[in-house]
Structure 1
Amino acid sequence: MHGVLLLDKPRGLSSNDALQKAKWLLRAEKAGHTGTLDPLATGVLPLCFGAATKFSQLHLEADKTYEAVAVLGVKTTTGDAEGEVVSRQPAPELTADRLAQVQRQFTGALSQVPPMHSALKKDGKALYEYARAGEEVAREARAIMVHALELAAARTGSGQAAVRFIAKVSKGTYIRTLGEDIGEALGCGAHLSLLRRLATGPFDLSQCVTLEALQDMAEDERLARLLPPQALLAGHGRVTLDADNAGRFLSGLRRRGDWPDSEAVAVFGEQPPALLGTGHVKAGELIPGRLLSPIEIQQILHPQEQATTP
């Protein structure tokens, strides 16, 4: 079982819970995901199985796009609807000029302090563990990039004033914190009531399947939803090796060729055309990175044979 499943994660499940359900449905042995979504959040969650897990960390670097709703005038302990209310203030009138000003303020290179309710570690302990114990620890601001931001006035189902926004951001950006900061800039505070990941790297919601739909499929239909492991390497250059060099590369040996320098390449065999692993090229030398095993390569090339082997 080797590949990538693009899941539309439901609200209320942790990323790991969603992974375990999909793993069971696919009868997979080895599985992982490419970064977490809060239980409150829904949307694009790439799940990796088998050999694809070797490249899951690479996808953590990918830009991501989110849709969120920030309820104005109500601040919570967690920055979202799961926390306790800590303050209430009247929401301001949201004119087009005011929204445009805030949009400019939070677009581009920014500095962001990670929230206490996050998995970021401090002295070997997750920040949310400190938060649950009623402790607040000093956190250093981190550089992030908001590539694009769209703001619009909105109302919640109960009629509360809100801002709906879509943000394309760099890795390490906390959307709950961005929502809180937008609320502070508007002078009233805010918390998120909705968070949905629309895209991560080259993947978007149109490619995703829900757990419910996956559960209703026959086994062959589920397997057909898997993308090959190289789907995680869309941003890599491509190097193709003949049979002799492919074997040596898989043994961890560097190869020489007329390839241009590149920080990240996906390496394929020529015959058969199979993914071998990743590497980088420097001064005409291909240097191995993460490698697939010969068994994994055979299983990817001949999945039906593996499925019928007793």
Structure 2
Amino acid sequence: MNSGLVVVDKPAGWTSHDVVAKLRRLAGTRRVGHAGTLDPMATGVLVIGVDKATRLLGHLALTEKVYDATIRLGQSTDTDDAEGEIVASGSAGAVGDDALREGIAALTGEIQQVPPQVSAIKVDGKRAYKMARAGEEVALRARPVTVREFAVSDVRRHGDLVDVDASITCSSGTYIRSLARDLGRSLGTGGHLTALRRTRVGPYGLGMARTVERLTEEFEVLPMGEAVSVAFPRRDVSPDDARRIAHGGRLPAAGLGPGPIGVFAPDGTLLALVEETGSVAKPLAVFV
């Protein structure tokens, strides 16, 4: 099996681990992992690494993500999404468009965000969701995240409930469930997420994604060199520099930014990912 990435359109009801387990069987290798977890309720882009490409995943997980979301105002749940139990209700019928715009504006840009109680974040070595489900109160700290765009496409009103459809572009580590919760909280109505579809992870969008059914019929892998060229700046080097980087050596910086940067041999083979620090380019991962 060739090393590379598989961009999956995750179905609803599957965990990210379910997808990894399925692709391990299809790829015939245990070396399969994913970049950026999607909750079971969510659908859309899940980037999977096969074999050597698992070493790319940590770098890809840090890239920008885009989601299509539906937020329901007027109800709060214990998970901040539709999978949880409703714990509070407050009529959103009187929420006007101006108040909605102001609430969304306050959640756009560089913000401090408290993750959901039911999340995979570790507190004192234990997963927050396990503590929450055991009835423990989890004290999660606010973290800096960036919401670059929070664009509303539709508002649907049903008596005391208001459903808001939005496209959200954000940094890694942003919880869309928390945005739903915080929007509802700021408007005094409560809020939770009822639908979520990830449409892009870094440069990998739905146009490149394949359903599990299609992958079962034809298992397609995006070769590592192509995957890196799409995601990161590319540097082609001489035979001498190729030998140096293949043995973990450093190169002079080429002014391509901090990194990661893909380094390619004269024949087009991916050699490594490097980062530039001052006047040198240091390997982050060597693939040959």
For 1:26-50, what per-residue CA distance to the aligned partner results, in whole angstroms no more than 9, with x for missing partners? 3234111001000111110011101
Contact residue 109 and residue 143 of structure 1 kept, 8 A: yes
Q: Does 1:229 align with 2:224?
A: yes
For 1:94-127, what per-residue CA distance to the aligned partner results, in whole angstroms no more than 9, with x for missing partners? 4332322222222111111111100011111111
Q: Does 1:153 align with 2:168?
A: no
Rg larger in structure: 1
The match for 1:300 is none
SS of residue in 2 equivalent to 1:177: helix
1:72-111 pair list within 5 angstroms: 72-111=73-112
TM-aligned CA deviation for residue 262 of structure 1: 3.1
1:256-295 pair list within 5 angstroms: 256=252, 259-260=254-255, 262-264=257-259, 265-270=261-266, 272-293=267-288
For 1:77-99, what per-residue CA distance to the aligned partner results, in whole angstroms no more than 9, with x for missing partners? 11111111111222233433232
Cα distance in 1 for partners of 2:22, 2:268 equals: 32
Q: Which amino acid aligns with 1:180?
A: R
1:174-253 pair list within 5 angstroms: 174-215=175-216, 217=217, 221-222=218-219, 225-230=220-225, 231-232=227-228, 234-253=230-249
Cα distance in 2 for partners of 1:126, 1:9 equals: 23
1:98-177 pair list within 5 angstroms: 98-151=99-152, 152-154=154-156, 160-177=161-178
Q: Which amino acid aligns with 2:235?
A: V
Q: Identity of counterpart residues, as a percentage?
A: 36
Cα distance in 1 for partners of 2:90, 2:195 equals: 20
Cα distance in 1 for partners of 2:68, 2:275 equals: 35
RMSD of Structure 2 on Structure 1 (CA)? 2.0
Contact residue 240 and residue 267 of structure 1 kept, 8 A: yes
Contact residue 261 and residue 282 of structure 1 kept, 8 A: no
TM-aligned CA deviation for residue 261 of structure 1: 6.1
Contact residue 59 and residue 232 of structure 1 kept, 8 A: no
Contact residue 233 and residue 256 of structure 2 kept, 8 A: no
Q: Which amino acid aligns with 1:198?
A: T
Q: How many residues align?
A: 284
TM-aligned CA deviation for residue 205 of structure 1: 1.1
Contiguous gaps of at least 5 residues in structure 2: none
Cα distance in 2 for partners of 1:115, 1:189 equals: 14
Contiguous gaps of at least 5 residues in structure 1: 294-310
Q: Which amino acid aligns with 1:241?
A: V
Cα distance in 2 for partners of 1:170, 1:121 equals: 20
TM-aligned CA deviation for residue 268 of structure 1: 0.7
Cα distance in 2 for partners of 1:283, 1:191 equals: 46
User: Against the structure 1 CA distance between its residues 268 and 232, is the aligned structure 2 distance closer, same or farther, given a 3 Å change threshold?
Assistant: closer
Cα distance in 2 for partners of 1:59, 1:133 equals: 33
Contact residue 74 and residue 89 of structure 1 kept, 8 A: yes
TM-aligned CA deviation for residue 235 of structure 1: 4.6
Cα distance in 2 for partners of 1:227, 1:203 equals: 11
SS of residue in 2 equivalent to 1:140: coil
Contact residue 264 and residue 270 of structure 2 kept, 8 A: yes
TM-score (norm 2): 0.91
Cα distance in 2 for partners of 1:87, 1:214 equals: 42
TM-aligned CA deviation for residue 233 of structure 1: 5.5
Contact residue 92 and residue 186 of structure 1 kept, 8 A: no
TM-aligned CA deviation for residue 186 of structure 1: 2.1
Cα distance in 1 for partners of 2:251, 2:167 equals: 45
For 1:220-264, what per-residue CA distance to the aligned partner results, in whole angstroms no more than 9, with x for missing partners? x42xx32122414545332222223312211112234x7226311
Cα distance in 1 for partners of 2:79, 2:103 equals: 22
